[in-house]
Amino acid sequence: MTAVQLNAMNTELWQCIGSIADDEALMRRLTRYAKKLSKEKNDPTLFSKEEFFARIDEAKKEIADGNGRTFDNLDDMNAWLETL
């Protein structure tokens, strides 16, 4: 995102906040939503849709290259998962 685009988005955000600033209930909702978004940004387990499908494609390639894992039973699989 360019600086101009970021500045335009920032301006739009402040205009929206200004239009609801006199409504306490809406400001409370906005604050809760902003907190939720900031938690998501800091969560290392979250990734974008593109990243998700890139990981799937990478796993498919690894399996096609013979690098997949197979297990004879559930206990073997669970033992391997415990090592991760």
Which DSSP category does 2 fall into? -
For the chain, give every domain's residue range.
1-43, 47-84
- Chain-centre distance of CA 57, in angstroms? 18
Tens of pLDDT, residues 53-62? 999 999 999 9
Nearest to 13, CA basis, from 5, 2, 22, 1: 5
State what percent of residues in the chain have pLDDT above 70: 100
Q: Where are the alpha helices (DSSP H) in 21-68?
A: 24-41, 49-64
pLDDT of residue 60: 92
- Write the pLDDT tens digit of every residue in 13-71: 999 999 999 999 999 999 999 998 887 777 777 788 899 999 999 999 999 998 888 89
Residue-level pLDDT at 83: 92
Residues in the chain: 84
Put simply, whether the predicted model's pTM sits higher than 0.75 gets the answer no
Per the listing, tokens 């849709």 go with 49
